[in-house]
């Protein structure tokens, strides 16, 4: 999987998924959610990308 600063669709079969990831800040017990953007491709798995 490629970890990139900006993710883009590389072919018509690619699709974008936004998920929330649990994270904690240093010195704090509160949890907050961080957005993680993924690109998946059904035709070519090499197009997988992640941002965040």
- Sequential DSSP letters for 9-45: --STTEEEEEEEEEEE-TT---EEEEEEEEEEESS-G
Buried b (16+ CB within 10 A) or exposed e, 19-44: eeeeeeeeeeeeeeeeeeebbebeee
- pLDDT value of position 28: 83
Checking if the pLDDT of 51 tops 90, the result is yes
pTM (2 d.p.): 0.80
* Beta bridge partners of residue 20, listed in sequence order: 35
CA–CA separation, 33 and 26 (whole Å): 14
pLDDT of residue 37: 96
List, for residues 7-45, the tens digit of each pLDDT value.
999 999 999 999 999 888 888 888 889 999 999 999 999
- Position 30 scores a pLDDT of 86
């Amino acid at each position: 999987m490629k970890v990139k600063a900006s993710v883009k669709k590389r072919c018509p079969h690619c699709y974008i998924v936004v998920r929330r990831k649990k994270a904690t800040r240093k010195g704090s017990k509160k949890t907050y959610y961080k957005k993680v953007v993924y690109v998946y491709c059904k035709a070519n798995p090499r197009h997988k990308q992640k941002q965040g």
